[in-house]
């Protein structure tokens, strides 16, 4: 039997976690006071701090064992906790500066799973390129289900925040990162197609669900280039674009051919599962791609692809100026 968290005191568990949260080259210089006191102290060089929070709950946001046989590792959950929080800062045009992480764990949770979670947090911060960020504190507690909440701070480094309400008719709608792949990966995890039987292309879709890779360089670059509106796609392209449309009082019109090309990496998975790849593109969110609007004169914008345009009119989302009628709109309604 593996060692469980019920067999360790809080401080003994912390002693196993904290060394795994160290940055590879020591704490970034912005960490003025790390774990060990009632609060951490982090630099906010331009006198402002971005702040967000996200939670993952077992059986709601991930399953420990998926129908296709894949077992979610602590590494996956730690990675995703970091990724989705770092993405929120990216979406404002900022660089993440710190994370605090609260873990709620059943007593039966293996200590190794929790150590793995710490490794996943650290790996995501490093591999996604959030070089100014580290984990500066947290909270440990018990519950009947695993729940992981991270809060993140970020710095705009003097830039203006890019909000959802600034899109104007005539702007180009651009996308960085991917969309629909995490949803395809989720469908594979929920299917009866054994995890061990999947080829490399399909495994990459599963990985996109379990370890998303938000394009962290794209947010600050878009802010610098004068993006008029921005948000990350966490709940689905249409649903999130509808929020941007509402905040900006404009219509977001996607180009059908752009959506088609976004769906092409999903065709094989869709064939296997008898699914429509366009539904994943329109409804899938957890890739944490970045949706922005920019004045046409800043195009091309490195890292982004044009996927639509902003039109005057009611706050709505269209595809080729038509309602996205055949793609299960109801699933995506607020």
Query: Residues in the site for a second copy, rule: CB under 8 A?
Result: 9-11, 32-33, 36-55, 57-61, 87-89, 91-92, 94, 98, 100-102, 104, 136-139, 141-145, 147, 149, 151-154, 156, 161, 163-164, 231-232, 247, 333-334
Is 66 marked within a binding site? no
Is 164 marked within a binding site? yes
Is 88 marked within a binding site? yes
**Residue 293 C-beta: closest distance to a second copy, Å:** 14
CB atoms near residue 286 (< 10 Å): 25
* Contact partners, residue 187, CB within 8 Å, separation at least 6: 269, 273, 275, 280
Whether the link from the prior residue into 300 is cis, omega within 30° of 0, is yes
Is 283 marked within a binding site? no
Q: Regarding beta strands 290-294 and 172-176, do their DSSP bridges make them parallel or antiparallel, or are they unpaired?
A: antiparallel
Is 330 marked within a binding site? no
Under 8 Å between Cβ of 212 and 180: no
37 or 274, CB closer to a second copy?
A: 37
* Contact partners, residue 288, CB within 8 Å, separation at least 6: 83, 84, 87, 177, 212, 213, 214, 232, 233, 234
**Residue 92 C-beta: closest distance to a second copy, Å:** 5
**Residue 150 C-beta: closest distance to a second copy, Å:** 8
257: left (phi over 0), alpha (psi -120 to 50) or beta: alpha
166 or 308, CB closer to a second copy?
A: 166
Q: Which of 234, 229, 241, 224 is nearest to 324 (CA)?
A: 241
**Residue 263 C-beta: closest distance to a second copy, Å:** 25
Under 8 Å between Cβ of 175 and 272: no
28 or 138, CB closer to a second copy?
A: 138
Give ∠ CA 80-82-87 in degrees, rounded to 5: 95
12 or 299, CB closer to a second copy?
A: 12
170: left (phi over 0), alpha (psi -120 to 50) or beta: left
**Residue 14 C-beta: closest distance to a second copy, Å:** 9
54 or 119, CB closer to a second copy?
A: 54
211 or 239, CB closer to a second copy?
A: 239
**Residue 141 C-beta: closest distance to a second copy, Å:** 5
DSSP character for 24? Answer: B
158: left (phi over 0), alpha (psi -120 to 50) or beta: left
**Residue 34 C-beta: closest distance to a second copy, Å:** 11
Is 139 marked within a binding site? yes
71 or 142, CB closer to a second copy?
A: 142
Is 38 marked within a binding site? yes
Per-residue HEC secondary structure of 185-238 comes to: HHHHHCCCCCHHHCCHHHHHHHHHHHCCCCCCCHHHHHHHHCCCEEEECCCCHH
Annotated binding site for Mg(2+): 38, 52, 54, 88, 139, 232, 235
Annotated binding site: 38, 52, 54, 61, 88, 138-139, 164, 232, 234-235, 286, 329
Annotated binding site for ATP: 138-139, 164, 234
Annotated binding site for substrate: 61, 286, 329
């Amino acid at each position: 039997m593996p060692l469980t968290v019920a067999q360790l005191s809080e401080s003994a568990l912390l002693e196993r976690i904290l060394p795994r949260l160290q940055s590879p080259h020591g704490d970034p210089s912005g960490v003025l006071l790390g774990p060990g006191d009632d609060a951490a102290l982090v630099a906010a060089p331009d006198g402002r701090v971005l702040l967000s929070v996200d939670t993952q709950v077992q059986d709601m946001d991930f399953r420990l064992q998926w129908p296709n046989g894949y077992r979610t590792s602590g590494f996956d959950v730690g990675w995703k906790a970091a990724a989705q929080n770092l993405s929120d800062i990216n979406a404002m045009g900022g660089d993440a500066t710190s994370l605090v992480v609260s873990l709620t764990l059943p007593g039966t949770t293996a200590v190794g799973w929790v150590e793995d979670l710490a490794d996943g947090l650290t790996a995501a911060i490093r591999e996604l390129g959030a070089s100014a960020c580290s984990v500066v504190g947290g909270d440990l507690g018990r519950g009947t289900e695993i729940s992981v909440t991270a809060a993140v701070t970020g710095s705009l480094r003097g830039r203006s925040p890019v909000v959802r309400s600034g899109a104007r008719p005539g702007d180009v709608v651009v996308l960085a990162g991917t969309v629909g792949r995490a949803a395809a990966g989720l469908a594979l995890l929920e299917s009866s197609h054994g995890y061990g039987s999947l080829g490399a292309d399909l495994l990459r879709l599963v990985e996109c669900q379990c370890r998303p890779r938000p394009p962290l360089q794209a947010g600050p670059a878009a802010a610098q280039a004068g993006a008029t509106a921005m948000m990350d796609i966490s709940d689905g392209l249409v649903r999130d674009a509808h929020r941007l449309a509402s905040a900006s009082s404009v219509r977001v019109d996607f180009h059908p051919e752009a959506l088609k090309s976004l769906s092409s990496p999903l065709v094989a998975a869709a064939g296997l599962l008898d699914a429509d790849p366009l539904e994943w593109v329109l409804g899938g969110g957890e890739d944490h791609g970045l949706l922005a609007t920019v004045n046409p004169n800043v195009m091309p914008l490195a890292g982004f692809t044009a996927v639509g345009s902003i039109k005057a009119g009611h706050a709505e989302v269209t595809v080729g100026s038509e309602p996205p009628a055949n793609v299960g709109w109801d699933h995506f309604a607020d």
